[in-house]
Chains A and B, each alone.
Chain A
Amino acid sequence: MVIENIKLAFNAMRGNKMRTALSLLGIVIGVASVVAILTIGESASQSIKDAIAIGGLDMVTIYPSSGQRNTGIFNEEFSSMLRRDVEGIDVVLPQNSSIARIRVGQEAADASVVGVLSDYGDALNLEYAQGSFFEAMDNINRRQVAVLGSSIADTLFPDQEAVGQYISLFRNQAKNYLVVGVLESKDPTFNLSYDNSVFIPYNTYGQRFVRSTNVGAFVVKVTDGFDTIAVSDKITEYLDDIVGTDGYALFSPASLAEMADQITGTFSTFLALIAAISLVVGGIGIMNIMLVSVAERTREIGVRKAIGASPAVIRGQFLIEALTLTILGGFLGIVLGSLLSFAVTNLMDWSLHLSYASFILALGFSMFVGVFFGWYPAVKASKLDPIEALNHE
């Protein structure tokens, strides 16, 4: 019976192609907007996440509060303590940084001078345009070597290779550092670009550059296979217990990514809800055409009743017709919405992430619209008096 009714619905649509197309337009536009908004939103959020991921989605940075730096737990032993007490931590790297003026002959630049251990380069997957990161022995011997970010290198050495040259770092007094490596440029994401940084060995920083044993920050690398946000939550829990919420600050690209995801998610859901209103308008179009259809086919309804169609059967026939219309509209809308998303993401240079959830959502919603707005015309048809319907011209 259902199959016959679907056939009948297509018969009716074929009989009135123009009218069917116009009445479907509302549903098609509604579904297309919902699909496009959710898909474009998903693609935008994915591209933001991809951009953040450049900054290291598996990194969490802990900044001890100024009051905690001399005393408390944030000393040389903190690294091994954290690794012992919190699961899922690959390495913990102490880090110090400050802004300093750097000179090479007549050229000068302000840069962030960062003191790190030699395994920092590998831990952060740094890539080198020239040379390499400094060695463990450079740290132990407190040698005055430096790895330059790409912009600093371009500024200080516009015409020549930086590796093998000396730069002068000024802090109380100027000291010369040998350049051993230059980093590849990276797109800046949430200030996580190293283009304007100068890396020097951790011990050199503490004993020759600043002369302080305080640790400014700990960079934590999460073990492969562990969820960064989960690990950073555990670290938060752990540190809250020991030093309290005011004792430190924590920064992770992963939680930023999550936040960005939530914002784009909320935003596109909001837009999709607005688009869903057009689906309701489309539903009214469906109701209208179904009422016209019932009125036009009054005699047919009379005949069907005379040969034994019960009210439920008539109701079913018109409900299925309304549903067929809206499902067809839903499919056309999904195709149109996907094409639209493809065009927009292409234009924005984002990678396309088709939101299959939105397909199901849009189709489900248009079916709901079909039943909701098809119900009244269908009930109206089923309640027609057979004799009056048969005599209808």
Chain B
Amino acid sequence: MIDHVITLGNVSRYYVMGEFIVKALDGVSVTIKRGEFTSIMGPSGSGKTTMMNLIGCLDTPTSGQILIDGEDTSGMNEAELAFIRNQKVGFVFQQFNLLGKLTALDNVITPLLYAGFKPRERKRMAIEALERVGLADRMYHRPNELSGGQKQRVAIARALVNNPSILLADEPTGALDSRTGNQIMELFDELNSEGRTVILVTHDRELGLKAKRRIYIRDGKIEV
């Protein structure tokens, strides 16, 4: 039996814009296996961000079914979706989205706080994650004292720390110079080779080609 970490079954996401209905995602079916490194590519407005939001449980589909790690997320309420995001998904954003008033360590601790770990355990796990991304020596620095690459490493540590089923990266190198961007991509590669499922969302063809599996989206549908 194949271990599918993500299953999208005929998923659509429509937005109502005045009199028009925008079909951001239109009947998409796709499965992603555990341990895969997949990129979701497409021009802006293609629906890739919508797909990422749906996989990351930030959004719910208009119709269709989404299974994350075997759990059907359709019909879940806000709190249940928050629990899935906390336990199953690790987000990495283009703009890092670190909490500016917290240290690197506290940023990484935050998801563990929501997961209900005890203080001592939280700190141990967060330090471990920061060590994994090579930033243990910067853990008491605040985001404004870190370079772009360091910030993104903290963000990756935060995404990793709860040991999620999926790492979901949205243009993770978009705000970095190409050298730093490459280092971040290498880090994703390493994490994938350790067995983690990585999904990279990008409009950058070159970057997307680094993934072993590519999904192209255009006008809300998957291009074969």
Contacts and interface: CB of A to CB of B under 8 A. Distances in A.
Interface in B93-125: 93, 97-101, 110-111, 113-115
A168 to B, nearest CB: 92
B119 to A, nearest CB: 9
Interface of B: 53, 56, 58-59, 78-79, 82-83, 85-87, 91, 93, 97-101, 110-111, 113-115, 158, 162
Given A300-B100, A309-B114, A387-B59, 16 more contacts: A8-B101, A12-B101, A300-B99, A304-B99, A306-B85, A306-B91, A307-B91, A307-B114, A308-B82, A308-B86, A308-B111, A310-B78, A310-B82, A310-B83, A387-B53, A390-B58
A393 B113 CA distance: 26
11 contacts: A12-B101, A305-B82, A307-B111, A307-B114, A308-B114, A309-B82, A309-B86, A310-B114, A312-B79, A386-B58, A390-B58
A305 B56 CA distance: 11
B99 A303 contact: yes
Interface string A89-113: 0000000000000000000000000
Nearest to A12: B101
Nearest to B80: A310
Interface majority SS (helix, strand, loop, mixed), chain B: helix
A303 B159 CA distance: 12
Contact of B79 (A11, A300, A302, A310): A310
A58 B185 CA distance: 91
A339 to B, nearest CB: 33
A306 B56 contact: yes
A15 B93 CA distance: 25
A304 B158 CA distance: 11
A390 B93 contact: yes
Nearest to B99: A300
B93 A313 contact: no
Contacts of A11: 101
Contacts of A8: 101
Contacts of B100: 300
Give the dominant DSSP class at A's interface.
Answer: helix
Contacts of B99: 300, 303-304
Contacts of B86: 307-309
Nearest to A386: B58
Interface centre among B100, B114, B162 (most CB of A within 10 A): B114
Q: Which of B82, B98, B115, B162 has the most CB of A within 10 A?
A: B82
B87 A308 contact: yes
Nearest to B116: A1
A247 interface: no
A307 B110 contact: yes
A387 B113 contact: no
B111 A387 contact: no
A311 interface: yes
A299 interface: yes
Nearest to B122: A4
Contact of B158 (A307, A312, A387): A307
Nearest to A300: B99
B133 to A, nearest CB: 16
B79 A308 contact: no
Contacts of A306: 56, 58, 85, 91, 97
